[in-house]
């Protein structure tokens, strides 16, 4: 054992390696991404790791490995679980042989997600047991335990950190590589009665699953991580208690230091719910406050337990208005809620009125090629009736003023279907679907096939920056690199499109502004589904060595550069445009649109 200062996600990766995992796969998504990246960095030679094309593929890959008796870990964010839910729902019915841990990171807030869905509720729906860590140290232990549980009960097991657990750092004790469990897979054993899902098998297995989950309720009731604090008898006067799970447990424990003695229940295995532990906790309590994020999951379970066991305890939380229904908890929010629950008054915090603070919405980086792509389409479509259907990735930031080039954004790959429909209903609306290169492979292909076959009419814009930029630059089939370090043949976006039957497929450098505008004008008016691939590498990966500069003697201070493209490197000083050399990447988009030619230099000059 040795001590390391690790992020929660790194702890999970190290725990999986310590458990002898053989195969790790997933699709990037904040806040889950660093788990797989750490495995790739720290793995031994026998561990296979890949960024799969999407979460569904990854889940199937991990399932296959578990069929063969290997320990497998599949990683994703909560949105990715929606994509992977088809194989997972079925895997639960089929079961596994090797341990299969499904790492799903939830995102209260949400900080970088479309929804505040709760994987604990998904666990109850899918019947898959779930472990809910509150810290990096717990996550390290839990992932190892999850493999054991998975093998023992032949079921996938969820490990569900939330953003603050995944991205929090702590110094924890971890195993040395020599101490890692060696787990040698037996290999696939043919048994069609076990591995082929049919209604009759599902019926039989459903019954077994329900029996097993009832057993797990009792087993989890005795689990040391489902704790009542203080122990029985030491809080005899306590009539009120707090139940918490996940990261919120740390807020409760901090508040308890300030507020004094109180019974707490920590729930580390929300599904199957440790009913008997809950009964033990509720005994003698008049009121319980549930402190959790996302769904009122523990709250509902405790209400259920009260009903089932005829207990009179009042259960308070999100559903009674004692805790907020949405958003992230915080130290202060939990302290306030617990103080008012315990009728303790906290010292008043004086209200301050600071000067108005700057609003800082995230923006596309200076020199980002997406800015040039959006601007080219905007210029080409000036005065036309349009719809710009966006997608998930850095390029969602194309919605910001002054670009204002994202009219819709739903989920990965949805822009194609939406563009198809908007044009179907209004034939005079010129529709565009924007999709990034990673998203193209992950989620857009069925949409392209559907559109071509069903005679749709819109322009597909593929924003190809040769990486998965938003989540920190992961490889994908268009990059020609794998997580095992191989250099492989790229999958060509243009060839894929032509193979599907898109006849007009053009590739253009978005930083060549006049050519980009001309291409959009020409291609957008062709019939059917047509595609433009805007290809230019992500500036965060390939920084240009050149910068543009403004000649103040020529600049007339018209601010067109600032009004049109919203580049963070551009500002106005003493009536003239100025370029921040620390941010400029020399893309020259501003120079190309300057009406008086005041901006010079840069990579494309």
Interacting residues with other proteins (CB under 8 A): 3, 5, 30-31, 111-112, 135, 164, 167-171, 247, 249-251, 253-254, 330-332, 335, 349, 352, 354-365, 394, 397, 400-402, 470, 562-563, 566-568, 570-572, 582
Nearest partner of 158 among 245, 268, 50, judged by Cα: 268
- Cis peptide, bond prior to residue 402, ω within 30 of zero: yes
Min CB(251)–other proteins separation in Å? 6
Of 404 and 426, which has the nearer Cβ to other proteins? Answer: 404
Q: Where are the beta strands (DSSP E) in 206-293?
A: 227-229, 240-245, 263-267, 287-291
Of 193 and 361, which has the nearer Cβ to other proteins? Answer: 361
Residues with Cβ within 8 Å of 164's Cβ and at least 6 positions away in sequence, in order, are: 247, 328
Cβ 456 vs Cβ 528: under 8 Å: yes
Q: For 12, which DSSP code?
A: H
Cβ 20 vs Cβ 185: under 8 Å: no
Burial 103-121 (b: 16+ CB within 10 A, else e): bbbbbbbbeebbebbbbbb
Structure-block tokens of residue 310: 């005829």
Using alpha carbons, list the distances in angstroms from residue 37 to 43, 273, 349, 468, 477: 10, 32, 43, 13, 17
Count of all residues that appear for the chain in the document: 605
Min CB(354)–other proteins separation in Å? 5
Q: What are phi and psi of 171, to 5 degrees?
A: -85, 120
How many CA atoms does the CB half-sphere of 483 hold within 13 Å? Answer: 28
Min CB(81)–other proteins separation in Å? 18
Min CB(482)–other proteins separation in Å? 24
Min CB(6)–other proteins separation in Å? 11
Of 9 and 154, which has the nearer Cβ to other proteins? Answer: 9
Cβ 27 vs Cβ 161: under 8 Å: no
Of 362 and 597, which has the nearer Cβ to other proteins? Answer: 362
CA 379 to chain centre: 33
- In whole angstroms, give the CA distance from residue 133 to residue 120: 12
Of 358 and 485, which has the nearer Cβ to other proteins? Answer: 358
3-class state of residue 392 by DSSP = coil
Of 402 and 597, which has the nearer Cβ to other proteins? Answer: 402
Min CB(63)–other proteins separation in Å? 29
Q: What are phi and psi of 118, to 5 degrees?
A: -120, 115
Burial 534-566 (b: 16+ CB within 10 A, else e): bbbebbbeeebeebbbbeeeebeeeeebeebbb
Of 502 and 567, which has the nearer Cβ to other proteins? Answer: 567
Of 402 and 446, which has the nearer Cβ to other proteins? Answer: 402
Structure-block tokens of residue 256: 């308890």
Min CB(258)–other proteins separation in Å? 9
Nearest partner of 335 among 229, 213, 250, judged by Cα: 250
Which H helix or E strand runs over 151?
Answer: helix 136-153
Min CB(35)–other proteins separation in Å? 13
Of 319 and 562, which has the nearer Cβ to other proteins? Answer: 562
Min CB(171)–other proteins separation in Å? 6
Of 99 and 168, which has the nearer Cβ to other proteins? Answer: 168
Cβ 119 vs Cβ 106: under 8 Å: yes
Min CB(440)–other proteins separation in Å? 20
Min CB(583)–other proteins separation in Å? 8
Min CB(2)–other proteins separation in Å? 12
Of 169 and 453, which has the nearer Cβ to other proteins? Answer: 169
Of 191 and 254, which has the nearer Cβ to other proteins? Answer: 254
Query: 486: how many CB neighbours lie within 10 A of its CB?
Result: 9
Using alpha carbons, list the distances in angstroms from residue 70 to 58, 141, 374: 15, 20, 46
Of 486 and 545, which has the nearer Cβ to other proteins? Answer: 545
- In whole angstroms, give the CA distance from residue 14 to residue 141: 10
- In whole angstroms, give the CA distance from residue 67 to residue 581: 55
Cβ 33 vs Cβ 197: under 8 Å: no
Min CB(112)–other proteins separation in Å? 4
């Amino acid at each position: 054992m040795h001590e390391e200062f690790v992020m929660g996600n790194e702890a999970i990766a190290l725990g999986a390696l310590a458990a002898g995992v053989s195969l790790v796969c997933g699709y990037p998504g904040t806040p889950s991404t660093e788990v797989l990246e750490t495995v790739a960095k720290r793995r031994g030679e026998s561990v296979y790791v890949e960024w799969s094309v999407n979460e569904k593929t990854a889940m199937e890959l991990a399932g296959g490995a578990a069929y063969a008796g290997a320990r497998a870990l599949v990683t994703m964010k909560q949105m990715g679980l929606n994509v992977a839910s088809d194989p997972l729902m079925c895997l639960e019915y089929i079961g596994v042989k090797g341990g299969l841990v499904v790492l799903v990171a939830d995102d209260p807030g949400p900080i970088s997600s479309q929804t505040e869905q709760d994987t604990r509720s998904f666990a109850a729906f899918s019947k898959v047991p779930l472990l809910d860590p509150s810290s990096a140290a717990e996550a390290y232990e839990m992932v190892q335990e999850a493999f054991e549980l998975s093998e023992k009960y032949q079921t996938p097991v969820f490990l569900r950190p939330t953003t603050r657990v995944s991205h929090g750092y702590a110094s924890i004790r971890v195993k040395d590589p020599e101490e890692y469990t060696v787990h040698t897979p037996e290999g696939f054993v043919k048994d069609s009665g076990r591995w082929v899902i049919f209604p009759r098998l599902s019926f039989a297995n459903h019954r077994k699953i329900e029996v097993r989950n009832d057993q797990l309720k009792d087993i989890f009731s005795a689990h040391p991580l489902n704790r009542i604090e203080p122990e029985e008898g030491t809080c005899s006067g306590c009539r009120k208690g707090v139940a918490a799970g996940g990261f919120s447990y740390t807020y409760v424990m901090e508040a308890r230091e300030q507020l004094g003695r109180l019974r707490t229940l920590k729930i580390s295995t929300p599904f199957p719910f440790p009913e008997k532990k809950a009964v033990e906790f509720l005994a003698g309590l008049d009121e319980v406050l549930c402190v959790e994020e996302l769904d009122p999951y523990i709250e509902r379970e405790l209400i259920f337990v009260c009903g089932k066991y005829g207990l009179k305890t009042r259960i308070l939380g999100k559903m009674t208005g004692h805790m907020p229904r949405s958003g992230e908890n915080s130290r202060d929010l939990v302290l306030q809620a617990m103080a008012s629950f315990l009728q303790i008054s906290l010292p008043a915090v004086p209200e301050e009125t600071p000067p108005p603070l700057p609003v800082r919405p995230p923006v596309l980086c200076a020199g980002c090629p997406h800015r040039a792509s959006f601007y080219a389409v905007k210029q080409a479509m000036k005065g036309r009736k349009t719809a710009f259907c966006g997608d998930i990735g850095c390029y969602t930031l194309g919605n910001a003023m002054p670009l204002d080039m994202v009219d819709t954004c739903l989920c990965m790959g949805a822009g194609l279907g939406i563009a198809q429909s908007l044009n179907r209903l209004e034939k005079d609306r010129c529709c565009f679907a924007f999709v990034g290169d990673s998203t193209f492979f992950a989620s857009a292909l069925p949409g392209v096939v559907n559109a071509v076959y069903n005679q749709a009419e819109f322009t597909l814009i593929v924003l190809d920056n040769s990486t998965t930029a938003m989540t920190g630059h992961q490889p994908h089939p268009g990059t020609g690199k794998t997580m095992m370090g191989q250099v492989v043949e790229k999958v060509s976006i243009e060839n894929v499109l032509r193979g599907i039957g898109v006849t007009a497929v053009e590739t253009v450098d978005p930083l060549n502004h006049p050519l980009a505008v001309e291409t959009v004008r020409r291609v957008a008016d062709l019939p059917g589904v047509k595609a433009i691939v805007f290809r230019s590498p992500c500036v965060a990966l390939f920084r240009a060595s050149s910068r543009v500069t403004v000649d103040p003697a020529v600049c007339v201070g018209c601010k067109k550069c600032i009004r049109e493209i919203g580049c963070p490197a551009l500002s106005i000083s003493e009536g003239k445009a100025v370029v921040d050399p620390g941010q400029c990447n020399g893309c020259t988009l501003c120079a190309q649109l300057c009406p008086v030619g005041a901006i010079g230099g840069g990579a494309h000059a």
